[in-house]
Amino acid sequence: MTEAPMIRMVSVDKHFGELHVLRDINLEVTAGQVVVVLGPSGSGKSTLCRTINRLEPIDSGTIEIDGQRLPEEGKGLAGLRADVGMVFQSFNLFAHKTILENVTLGPIKVRRTPKAEAEKAGIGLLERVGIADQRDKYPAQLSGGQQQRAAIARALAMKPKVMLFDEPTSALDPEMVNEVLDVMTTLAKEGMTMLVVTHEMGFARRAANRVVFMSDGEIVEDAEPEAFFTAPRSDRAKDFLGKILTH
């Protein structure tokens, strides 16, 4: 018997009113895999990402994390979300808390970790992402790259089984993109299961096991990065790659 995949989506459909944003999505990500999700704007990448920890509920189909079906809204769902780290395009650090408090809030409130222990672990994580010296500042006092690294540390503090990234570098100035991608690459090498929505092809080539290409709410291709970038099969992917490569 093989182990259950870390993320499993079966026949997932979702509408926003009339708009069919996710069409019959079937996706499995095994433990330790890194999957990059690509696709044109509005193709449903963010929505896909957000359904995995049920920030967006789905209309039909099933989603399982590590063999466990997503519970309904409530305590069970909060518990499951604690195991799924999420990093947002706009960082979303808690504006009224210091960087260290951002990282320790979850462990203290959700995991009931004693404060001193949570702080020790939090400082360790901030060291790992290279911003331990910023721990007592508020988010607004940090650069975008530092904020995003803090947000990654906040997610890691929960010791998640999976990490979801929704365009983690799109809101950053170009010179800060690499400091965040470096942290993510290291994380991938260490064996974290990751689903990453990004248009950073360097990262996809370097760190991803698979590339999933979405268009109009559908998964159109699911291939190894090299194969996808050098020889996309569908016209939609060819068209899309043509556009982003010329930019």
Partner 1 sequence: MDALIAEFPRFVSGFLGTLRLCLFAAIGALVLGTLLAAFRVSPVPPLRWVGTSWVTVFRNSPLVVVLFLFAFGLPQVGVVFPTFGGNSFFWPGVAGLAAYTAAFVCEAVRSGINSVPAGQAEAARAVGLTFQQTLGSVVLPQALRTVVPPLGSVMIAMIKNSAIVGAFGVTGELFSVDGALTAAGYSALSSLGGVALAYLAITIPAGIGLGVLERKIEVKR
Ligand X SMILES: Nc1ncnc2c1ncn2[C@@H]1O[C@H](COP(=O)(O)OP(=O)(O)OP(=O)(O)O)[C@@H](O)[C@H]1O
3-state helix, strand, coil in the chain (%, to 5): 40, 25, 35
For β-strands 60-65 and 19-29, DSSP reports them as unpaired
Residues 32-91 that bind ligand X (CB under 6 A): 39, 41-47
Residues 16-35 that bind ligand X (CB under 6 A): 16, 19, 21
Which residues lie closer than 8 Å to 91 by C-beta, 6 or more apart?
A: 139, 144, 147, 148, 150, 151, 171
Q: Is 16 in the site for partner 1 (CB under 8 A)?
A: no
Q: How far is CA 139 from CA 95, 179, 202, in A?
A: 6, 17, 28
Q: Is 135 in the site for partner 1 (CB under 8 A)?
A: no
The entry of partner 1, ligand X, Mg ion, none that residue 132 binds, CB within 5 to 8 Å by partner kind: none
Q: Is 94 in the site for ligand X (CB under 6 A)?
A: no
Q: Is 169 in the site for Mg ion (CB under 5 A)?
A: no
**In the bound complex, what is the minimum distance in angstroms from residue 46's beta carbon to Mg ion?**
3
Q: Is 96 in the site for partner 1 (CB under 8 A)?
A: yes
Taking CB under 5 A as the binding criterion, the range among 9-17, 26-34, 43-51, 184-192 that sits at the site for Mg ion is 43-51
Distance CA 186, CA 76 (A): 31
**In the bound complex, what is the minimum distance in angstroms from residue 56's beta carbon to ligand X?**
8
Distance CA 244, CA 228 (A): 14
Residues 144-183 that bind ligand X (CB under 6 A): none
Q: Is 82 in the site for partner 1 (CB under 8 A)?
A: yes
Q: For ligand X, give the closer residue by CB, 21 or 93.
A: 21
Closest CA to 145 of 100, 194, 99, 178: 178
Environment class of 207 (CB within 10 Å of its CB; exposed 0-12, middle 13-18, buried 19+): buried
Could you give the maximum distance between any two Cα atoms of the chain, in Å? 55
Distance CA 100, CA 120 (A): 10
Taking CB under 5 A as the binding criterion, the range among 44-52, 120-128, 175-183, 201-209 that sits at the site for Mg ion is 44-52
| Total residues interacting with ligand X, rule: CB under 6 A | 11
The pair of three-digit structure tokens given for residue 38, joined into one six-digit string: 């690509």
Q: Is 138 in the site for partner 1 (CB under 8 A)?
A: yes
Q: For ligand X, give the closer residue by CB, 39 or 139.
A: 39
Query: Rule CB under 6 A: which residues touch ligand X?
Result: 16, 19, 21, 39, 41-47
Q: List interacting residues with Mg ion (CB under 5 A).
A: 46
Please give the residue ranges that form the binding site for partner 1 (CB under 8 A): 53, 55, 73, 75, 78-86, 88, 90, 92-96, 105-106, 109-110, 138, 140, 151, 154-155, 158
